[in-house]
Structure 1
């Protein structure tokens, strides 16, 4: 095909102009941002140009316009999973906090399932950390069904299913290698949690910086979400983790009833022992998988307590357990009640039973992750 009929050269030329504007630290218009992310998702941008673009965005700081354009481009190309329970919840984080902790939200998914809360957990391999949700699940030999009938069967059988991002966002194959090569968080860390393929309307979403909490909650409200808590936990020295934390106050934007309110959660009032972020330091996927299994088997400590705290919040987001907002702030008595509920299912082995049952689930095709 010659260049007069091939759209690729024209798109590449347009992308270079957009990149030049970005390098000049100019704001990208909605049209420019839309064209840039459309070209990226269609594979029309080479790795060198893509690396330059993502690096320039990271150094300048991503804008709301650019995030919205990336989300629209990704959602337009994703493989959706219709028909999931209307009250299903997702618990996930952006990653990109650079802290390398144990996998909290993956453990939370198993505890919620043991409590009878339907969970559609969206996750990915590690791209800017050592161990992502998908990495840990593969280590645990938890199946990651690809097609919709098997995803439904897993949900029907166990009340939880796991969606590997690369199976449902094929356009991301065009950026995965560059993201891994760069090794730092990019705008796609923010995009992933905003694009659950099942279209869940209830989410506990962790964010690597409080700066993005309002944007995340607002974007999900515009997408039709009912209840969202976007959280970013302070861990000292200007660092933040994409979870509710015991290391310091957690900053929150809570979307409820169509309104977004600002909250803060004090770990000292939860009844759990405060702990530095180093107490839940993680490692390889195998290391993190062992920790998750030991947690399900009854191990005590900061990892268990962090998971319990996140489950307590997720129960509220899911519309289960006690409502933990009262008078414009956190109702810590109700929060402690939810923590006790979560601890009980761990203590009686229900979480381990879910983990073992899920591991034995087998679809008619091999457990695999594309990309």
Structure 2
């Protein structure tokens, strides 16, 4: 292990087997937080490689507590790398809820905030939805509502063991990039937002080596989501073949908007904003940014008409059905908690 760490200090790239060993040590708690911190920092300075991502994924999947879907149906995830320091509302979580109401199975991979104010698990908790609920209950909710939420640290010992170090470092790390590829259900379909175009290329190349059926990797204006004010860069990977293109708001049937300079919002402020949107009382811009990202999620299921996808998503958002769904999921979770 010391030899591998010394290699990193010399800014040398690691082989898949070397990265696998490091991550295995982290998952088995055979390495100190100081060593974890130094490894994270060394990789950040050196730059991450495809082989190091693959080594991380291979080691994590060996230890991860897998989530099995009871019925053999097609399901997807929509997730961002985070790390774009955008303190806006939780787009991917919102889009996942909309898609589920449109009849698509979504298994949302969640985590707590590290580089942002409100991670997906944080905001769900504000709505009384526990992403750390039991596997059995998550399966039940998926069957009933087409959606469930899986907490990274509950299923993945590596992410649990690096939580403290990542929180203290308060910066982007390679765990931001590997997280979206480690959903415990291992979906064949996914929309993955990446905080930079450079990292988008790295992640797309990595995904070509993995067992996905249809993935969209997206970036727009240094954020990990499609936007209303700028071009969205897309790389689609289907059966290991990649195709890159750009999308504009007009491709979704939406008018271009001026860039909204976001101020840092507290978790509570984000919660109150989302609550209003979910009740069907959001602004046009708020509704539309969720709708275009949902449109991309529907696209990977084979619904290729982005304008129609966007309009169908807007109809759901404006109806207030999202809030009713959240209340139902929250109620089931609470009832089962009392009975257990």
TM-score bracket for this pair, using the shorter chain length: over 0.9
TM-score, normalised with respect to structure 1: 0.85
> Counterparts of 1:1-371 in structure 2 under 5 Å?
14=1, 16-84=2-70, 85-144=72-131, 146-234=133-221, 240-275=222-257, 278=260, 281=263, 283-298=265-280, 299-319=282-302, 321=303, 323=304, 334-362=305-333, 364-365=336-337
Q: 1:191 to 1:154 in 2, by over 3 A?
A: same
CA contact 1:346–1:352 (8 Å) conserved in 2: no
Q: Distance in 2 between matches of 1:17 and 1:145?
A: 37
Q: 1:67 to 1:258 in 2, by over 3 A?
A: closer
TM-score, normalised with respect to structure 2: 0.92
Q: 1:248 to 1:169 in 2, by over 3 A?
A: same
CA contact 2:50–2:203 (8 Å) conserved in 1: no
Q: 1:81 to 1:119 in 2, by over 3 A?
A: same
**What is the root-mean-square deviation in Å for CA atoms of aligned residues?**
2.0
Q: 1:99 to 1:357 in 2, by over 3 A?
A: same
Q: 1:280 to 1:154 in 2, by over 3 A?
A: farther
Q: Distance in 2 between matches of 1:279 and 1:304?
A: 17
How much has 1:359 moved relative to structure 2? Answer: 2.0
Q: Distance in 2 between matches of 1:128 and 1:170?
A: 20
How much has 1:148 moved relative to structure 2? Answer: 2.4
How much has 1:54 moved relative to structure 2? Answer: 0.5
* Residues 295-346 of structure 1: CA deviation (Å, up to 9, x unaligned): 1112123222110110111111123x3x1xxxxxxxxxx3222111111122
Between the two proteins, the alignment pairs up a number of residues equal to 336
Q: Distance in 2 between matches of 1:246 and 1:52?
A: 39
Note the residue ranges of structure 2 that are not aligned, 5 or more in a row.
none
Q: Name the larger-Rg structure.
A: 1
* Residues 99-118 of structure 1: CA deviation (Å, up to 9, x unaligned): 22211001111111111111
Note the residue ranges of structure 1 that are not aligned, 5 or more in a row.
1-13, 235-239, 324-333
